[in-house]
Structure formats: structure tokens, C-alpha cells
Structure 1
């Protein structure tokens, strides 16, 4: 019956219409500022600073981030992980953010509770909000084993049972002895979970659905991939259990009040009960008095059609990472000049509902070697960033790995260019936009500026360097608006030469093959 209700909700969305776009009701940065807002993901998968904790590193970088126009910083999960160096996605105890001696450490991989609080306070002083990465789907690193009934299911179809119920031993008891009931007295056991992937009795790995007692099986309100995608990894949390809901609701309120953070990044929502997540967000908004609470969800799919029902379901309380746009960038970087740039926004959230889209080029999951590897090559990285930073739609997110030196994915040329593009967003990317998408390998657009900021002209190319003659195919004729009549423009990215603007506002802008350029009016014009 619940599944039928969900389908009816989806049909009703088409009859009644979607809620207002989420971004317009959310805090994206200092409310008094007229500058563009910008998110920054401040970590890579294996991020580790050689001289200080990650929270101290964040605090140290705050002034530079503010100068570059960053108004939100998305931090890694602050909770205690199952291992000393766990990134936090291997969530052990949400209520321990580097305060208690658990898993043989007081600090998390990222630092101590006090360091986190100090970094967030420093960010606030510089007009930067902080987003907490919320891992509510599963737990890992239990303190004890328990014995209970479970059914192994087909990993490729979780609705298909492989055997009758049988007794297994599973690591499902979480006592949190090091925290000793501080903040929360809840102890977790097998009653609070739906499944796991390891039977310690037989030493067999698989996907096991816990049965018996009050267990209800998999939630019906999750993604339908693999039959039912409730189970992802670790010990899967049952979000329908009353005690679970209450503890997680309390934690959501507590983490914002305790740290001073301003919002959430929600991990792995396709695996969690949709109604729980909606109730979680409503509770936290009401309990904290933050009607403009920012939240962005990770629903990992390149298929826009699968994201659409979630937009309706979350009633304007969540934005979504534009994963389809990321895959367009990834595919374009692989195809090179064979890719038609005029189609780069096809079938993306940005083209469908820009007011719900958080755009990005790459993140920690798309890095080379990760399970979702889909890295955007350096041949298109800056072009992609120009398209999300300077066109004025959606809410862009910059990746730490593209900006800061690191051992995983750093490219100095990309970092230098990205710095210029972030500066250009803060200074010039304002006002009405006019697109000039007329050539498959060279597209352009103009931002007209507003009362407080000048505009700019942007040209993007994916042609093979050296294979294009300096011809009309790599020049875009664009009108920069009446305020620039008779002036001249120069490159903000360091290219040589100037572009003369006619008396009626037209100019012919050249872009080097395989490059991006941002053109601004010469001073004194």
C-alpha cells in the first residue's frame, strides 16, 4: 500500500505542480551581501595535512576562501569513524565529534571537537557558513556481536530471498562505552537495523535482511535499483524505528547548535526512507528556528528522470547535486572535439530546475580509483568550471582537489585557472545572461553586470589545440550591452590582445582552442 501511495504522490506532482525552487528559500551566504554565493568542498578522499589537523587547516585557509568569494564550506563527516583514520563515512558514533576516547583515539581523522568549533567560528567571522556532511544511512565498527534471524538475499535483486530464515551472528551492538551516555543514552542493537553484509558465524559475506520480532524488512520508500536499494553497506539503519528516529532527530538539532554549522550535505539519500529524511529536515528546521536551513542531497544518478520524483517529495527543503551535468562534463572530456558543446546542458538538473541544482565538476567520489570514478579530464576542467561559475544559474560547488596541492588529483594549471575563475565570479559574473551557442566546439555567453558589479564575456572551446586555424569557427561575435559601446575588453585569464566594442555593443571574441577565456572591460573606458 505504501508503494502505491508513493506512486500516487508522483502522479499528483504532475497534476498539482512542483514546490517552489529550493535555493530561493535557503541561506547560501551572508544575507546582507550582494556578491555571488559559492560553495567549496574542503576535502579530498584521502585528505591529510602534513603539519596540522584538517580543522586547523580549514581555519587557516578561511581568509583566502573569503577573498575568493566562498560563502559556504562543505566539511567531511565530523563523527567518530570505525577506525582511527576513517573518513567518517564509516560512521561509528555520530555524537562523538572528536571528544571521547573511542576506537583508540580522541580526535577523528580531521581533528578534535574544539578545533572544529573554533574553525567554524572563524569562518563565521569572515562571512562563510559551514555545512556538515551527514551520514545517516548506516553504522560500522560495532562493539559487540549479536545472534538473530536473517535471510540472505540476492545482491542483484534484494527482493529475492536465497534461503529460509536462519540464525546468524552479526556485529550489530553499539554501546559507545567511551562516551558513557553523554549527549545521548541510546544503545543500538539488531532491532534498530534492517540488514548487514557479514555473517560472523559462517564467515560468509552477502546481503542479509534481518527478520523476526518487530522487523519490517526493507523500506519501500527507497530507490528501486537492484530491486530495492535500502541496503548499501555496513549495518543498515531502520529509519522507521521510533527510537532511531528520535535519536537522529535529536542529533540533527544538536550538531548545528553545538558546532555553529549552518546546514547539511546529506549522504546517500537513494538508500534511505524518503519520509524519514523529510521529517528529519522539518524537525531540525523547527527545533533550531532556521526556516532557511540549507541542505543538499547526494542522489547519485546520471538519469534526470530518476531525480525528478525526489524534487517533489522533499517539498523544497532540499537541493540536489547535478550529477547528470557532472557526467556530461566527464563524457565531454573523454570525447574531446567530438563533443558538441551546444548540448552540454542537455538532460541536466540545471536545465530542468536550476533553482534546485547544486552544480559541480568533480568531488571526492569521482576521483580516480574511487567506486564512482568519473574524473573530468584537464582538457575540459576549466571550461566546465567556467560554465558553472559564471553563467548565473544553480549554486556552484568548487572541489578542494582542483584548487589545493594534494597527492591525489592536483594539477597546477587547473588550480591557477580555477583561482582566476573564482575571482571572476566574485567580481564580474552578474546581471542578465545572453548565450551565443552557435558552434559545436566554441560557445560563448555574456553577463551584462548589475548596479554594483561589472559584467563579462566568456568564450569556451573544446577544440584540439593546434588543429584549429584562427578563423571564424573560434571567434564568437557577442553583444556586451549598451554600457560598453565604443570601449575595449581584455582577457582576465592572461591572454594577450584586446577586443574592440562597436558603437552598438558588438565585439568579436577569440578563444584559443581547448581553452576558456573571460573578457572584461578595460579600465578607463
Structure 2
């Protein structure tokens, strides 16, 4: 009794340890800055290789660049042959069984996946699995169930009377059989569906009848209750569901050698279940520092912070508010006050719980969460997440690799330079010089084994002859020495004996200044 009271007091009143300080961000013994890469876009395809083969081929170069973690797309069998895995049919099928029209997934076969994961491990890169735990799609058969239609704008209100519908809720997994898992999903394992086959009607139907408990209350309150998102909504309170997903968490890590998860759409998942899933998977896999980052999609920091607190360091969170600031800065261009770029963001309040990003597969133009950061501010945004000490940055494949959706060759070239600058120079504490609405700067002081750098960022409209200047202190260690430009090669800065220097940047550009080595020609 006393031990339970102590645990309750600790959980209720003591500040939890920040997630990023307790989780693995890369292989042990790596002294360089950790860095994550999202290795896919929504339309990802390779001309000659499967996606997993493409990943395997790129791993040596990614390791050399300095990436320590790769976030993979959902590796599970999708409802459609071309599905990305977010239309999750069978989590236990990684491209091994003849289901949904093919053995392989969109991304390749199980063997190709495991081979890529092994090569990543050999090169010192950790693998992260995208876990789609909120819903299922592609049922094998229908069942007759009782249900009540919900108001789509307020799921706590009914939109009609209870009645019988024909729902796609039967999952038999005939291609897999009992291998890995014996659970056959039926209507009892779900809370709602979006289609009545009997009347060919689309809607949001809350399943009722024996055993059903309605929508979970431990979800986001958007639209009254945001338990239901899409497809066939999983009831995470059901014991058989919990047991199956807990076992899957351990199995997927052991099978792939992955060291953690990206958790999809958590505002729709029962919080109590998700906390248990994280704790159980860490315990069952023997990986106490398992990495986890969650997608809670909201640009409103006030809505995000309660979730961060509720999960008490068990997962980090993507800094969507920061992404939204980047999006606005790219739209407003020189009208945007750069001194506010970090305002009302997770990184500004809880930096050790923030995974920072510029864009992802959902933010590309035409996608469901379209909020693309335009080329006018893309590199400035990347400089802010890659070169500062707060937060943990994630680079998007679409910005780095040639692709049909969003590639910009100049962006890719400069992004590669920023990644190199992060690996070589971005160490030590950050000193900010946010003094002008269209030009800000900051200094990384370096550490015992890495030099620091000075960074200048401008969002002033292009002007060929306009150059910003900011006076910044880089430390007495550099007194009397010189810094060189790392991005556009256009000059040197002499550091005074007092450690101060005046650093410049062309309008609407980024410049990174780094110490000039004694062996280099001035």
C-alpha cells in the first residue's frame, strides 16, 4: 500500500525525466551529433529497386553523412497492393504471405527489409518502425452488427437511431494462418466503422451491443471525441487486442533489430493503452532506452503540452507548432519577424521532448496535412533545427533525394552542407543574437573535441547587393583568429582579442561561419 502511494505521488507531482535524455538516439559510442532521417515520401518509388533495396544501397552514404536513425514507412501488409502501410491490414505480415493480392508490400519483401536493417546495424544506424496502431483496413468479410451513427462534427452526439448494419470487421488472415499470432479480429475488437455495406452508406458508426463500451474517453477532445479517425477503429481496451499488440511490439523489434518506433496518430488512441504499450514493449524487449516519437498533429502548443505531460517521458513528440511557424515564415517571407520563429513551440518550452522537423510525407502539397515549407524559407528552417542544441532534428527524404513530389536541387545541395556542418561544428551551448526582424544569428561554442560555429539567417527579399551583418561573441579561445564561410564561399572574419566578430550573410540566405584551420590558406 505504501509503495503504491509513493508511486502515485511520484506520478502525480514529480516532473518526469525528459524523453530525449532517457532514450537511445543512435548506436552507443557515437560522439557525433545524433540525426534522424525519414526515409520515404508519400509517392516513394525507385525505378529499378524495391524500396528496401534502395534503402540498403544508400545506408553507407547516410552513415558517412552522420545519420544515426532512419524512420521507415510502415512495413506491414496494407489493405491495397499499392498501400503505404497506413491502411494497415496485417501488422504481422512484413511481405511474407500471399495476402491482399501479393506477397510483398509496396516497399518490398520481408527478406529485403531484414537485409536492409542488418546493413544499417553494421553501419551504425538505428532503425525506427512506423507503428500504425489506431485502425485497420481491408477486412476479409462483413458481419452484421448493431450501431448508432455519430455526428461527424461532434462524435458525442448521435445522428440517428440504433440499427443493424453490415460492417467490414472480419479479419481472417488466411494467407498467414496462425503464424506469429492466432488472433482473428471481429466486430468485438473495434469501436466504430465508416461504411454500412447493407445500405452502401458512408458515415461514422459507433458499434453497440454486447461487450461494446462506446468511444474511448482517453483520447483528444477535438470534434467532441476524436477516438474515431478512419477505417475500422480499434478498441484498445479489449484484452485480446492489448495482448496481440503488446506481443507485436516485442516481435517487430526483435525481428527487424529496430530500436524504437514512430507512433502514428496518437490523438485518436486510448492514452492508457499507449502508455502500457510503451512500458510493456520496453520491458518485454529488454530495451529500457527504446526510442519513441509520437505524432500529435496540432500547431497549437496549448493542446500539445497536456499530451507531453501525460506521457511522462515515455515518448518524444514532433514539434508541429515549430513546423507551422516555418510554414508561415515561408508564406510571409520578409514580412515575417524572425525574432518570433521559436515562439509558442515545443522546443522553446520542453526542448528535450521535441523532435524537430521541417516537412514530412503528410505536409507535401496535395496531402492531407498540407502545410509545405516553401523554398523561400526551407534552408533557413533546416539551419534552425540542425545547428542549434535544442531538440532532436529529423530530415525529410523529399528534401534530400531526387523525387517526383517536392525535390529542389539547390535545397538538397545546401541541406547536405548543413548536415555536414551539424556533424563537424554544431556542438556546445547556443548563444542567440535575435536582434533584427529579418536577420538573426546564433553561436555554438563547441566542446572539448569539436569546434563551434556562428550562424546567420536572413529572410529579407532577394537583393543581389544586400548583405546583413551581426556582431557575435565566439569566445576568447578564438581571439586573434579567423573564421571562414562554410555555405557560400565569400570571405573571412577576423575575431578580435575579446572574442567578438562581425559575421555577414546575403539577403534571404543562410551562412555558417567556422574556424579557419591553422593549416589552411587564408
TM-score, normalization by structure 2: 0.96
1:17 is displaced (CA, Å) by 4.4
Q: Deviations over 1:99-119 (max 9, x none)?
A: 000011011000111111111
Q: Deviations over 1:126-166 (max 9, x none)?
A: 11000000000000000001101001111000011011110
Separation in structure 2 between the aligned mates of residue 188 and residue 14 of structure 1, nearest angstrom: 34
Partner residue of 2:491 out of 487, 490, 497:
497
Q: Deviations over 1:422-454 (max 9, x none)?
A: 000000000122111101100001111111111
Local SS of the residue matching 1:362: coil
Separation in structure 1 between the aligned mates of residue 338 and residue 266 of structure 2, nearest angstrom: 31
Separation in structure 2 between the aligned mates of residue 194 and residue 213 of structure 1, nearest angstrom: 12
Local SS of the residue matching 1:168: strand
Partner residue of 1:112 out of 89, 109, 113:
109
Matched, 1:450 2:484: no
Match of 2:215 in 1: 218
Partner residue of 1:431 out of 428, 433, 454:
428
Matched, 1:402 2:399: yes
The within-5 A match list for 1:364-375 is: 364-375=361-372
- The answer to whether the Cα contact below 8 Å between 1:430 and 1:450 also exists between their aligned partners in 2 is yes
- The answer to whether the Cα contact below 8 Å between 1:18 and 1:311 also exists between their aligned partners in 2 is no
Match of 1:509 in 2: 503
Local SS of the residue matching 2:506: coil
Match of 2:192 in 1: 195
Match of 1:378 in 2: 375
TM-score, normalization by structure 1: 0.96
The within-5 A match list for 1:54-133 is: 54-133=51-130
Q: Deviations over 1:48-84 (max 9, x none)?
A: 1111011111111001111111000000000000011
1:192 is displaced (CA, Å) by 0.4
Q: Deviations over 1:208-246 (max 9, x none)?
A: 000001000000000000000000000000000010000
Match of 1:233 in 2: 230
Local SS of the residue matching 1:511: strand
Q: Deviations over 1:161-182 (max 9, x none)?
A: 0111100001110000000111
The within-5 A match list for 1:230-379 is: 230-379=227-376
Query: Unaligned 5+ residue runs, structure 1?
Result: 1-11
- The answer to whether the Cα contact below 8 Å between 2:154 and 2:225 also exists between their aligned partners in 1 is yes
Matched, 1:391 2:385: no
1:15 is displaced (CA, Å) by 7.4
1:18 is displaced (CA, Å) by 2.9
1:469 is displaced (CA, Å) by 3.7
Matched, 1:476 2:473: no
* Count of residue pairs the alignment pairs up: 511
Partner residue of 1:460 out of 457, 461, 467:
457
1:495 is displaced (CA, Å) by 2.9
1:46 is displaced (CA, Å) by 0.7
Match of 2:513 in 1: 519
Separation in structure 2 between the aligned mates of residue 15 and residue 47 of structure 1, nearest angstrom: 44
Match of 1:18 in 2: 15
Partner residue of 2:408 out of 408, 411, 414:
411
